[in-house]
Amino acid sequence: MENKDMPTYDELQQKVKEFEVQEEIFRTIIQQMEQLYAQVASSQSEIEKKNEAIEEEKGKLQAILKNIADALVVVNPGGRVILANSVFCDFFNADVNAVHNAHISEVIDNIELVKTILDVIEEPERTIMKQIQLQDGCFIKNTSSSILLDDLLLGVVSTFRDVTIEVQMDKMKTDFISTVSHELRTPLTSVLGFANIIKKRLEEVIFPVIDDGEARVSRAASQVRQNLDIIISEGERLTNLINDVLDIAKIEAGRVEWKDEDVDIAEVFRRAA
């Protein structure tokens, strides 16, 4: 008797073909998954390499910041601190843990310094350098400039240096030069004055009575006259040098006095040549 539930040959062939198609589909899916896994693994490796490079650069940056002698801070366009070295924190007695993301006005207790940084944010094309004196008498040299990427403002970097010792040394130098120059000018003025008096007396009293027939005496008188002229000329030149030194000291101290007058430019070039 025939079993009606048993599949026919054609039906079996059809089933086999369907299994083969499914097997091919599964094989294709597996291959694609293997390729995708390989790509993911490769991407993961690249990401790890880039992370290592980033960490290495981060370490270098931290080492640089740590070894910079100047106080350094970087703020974003909103004026909030995104980076600061330990020197900066010590400089302004700021808490290292509280500095990050704090507004610069909350960290630096000096209106002029804060204004300098905010001015650069407002005008990124500017680089501002200034020296100010703090309330405790210290002198600070500050430089603030923008950080730009394709004209996009990323922030402002600002450095601070204590130049109190340099300012004091400059003042001591200026005071020393001024004192020495004044001490030199006083006796030099006396020497020039007496030299001019002697020359005048010789010209009026002595030289006219010298017998021109005495060649030896005439030569001696001429030599005396020349020597006096040299003394006066060199004395005047030294006086001018001292005056120039005093003028330089006044310029450095900000106390220079300008006097407008006509000058012979040809004479200026002649003296400078």
- Collect all residues with Cβ–Cβ distance below 8 Å to 153 and sequence separation of at least 6: 77, 121, 124, 146, 147
- What is the separation, in whole angstroms, between the first and last Cα of the chain? 137
Instruction: Kindly list the domain boundaries of the chain, sorted by start residue.
Output: 11-67, 69-162, 167-272
Closest to 52 (Cα-Cα) out of 100, 65, 39, 60: 60
How many of the other CB atoms lie within 10 Å of CB of 232? 16
Half-sphere exposure of 260 (CA within 13 A, CB side): 0
CA gap 40, 44 in Å, rounded: 6
CA gap 53, 39 in Å, rounded: 21
Structural contact between residues 148 and 154, judged by C-beta atoms closer than 8 angstroms: yes
> How distant, in Å, are the alpha carbons of 59, 197, 204 from that of 226?
76, 15, 16
Residue 148 DSSP SS3: strand
Residues in the chain where the model's pLDDT stays below 70: 1-7, 9, 211-213, 253-256, 273
Question: Which pLDDT does position 130 carry in this prediction?
Answer: 92
Q: What is the CATH number of domain 69-162?
A: 3.30.450.20
Kindly report the backbone phi and psi dihedral angles of residue 101, in degrees, each rounded to the nearest multiple of 5, phi listed first.
Answer: 70, 5
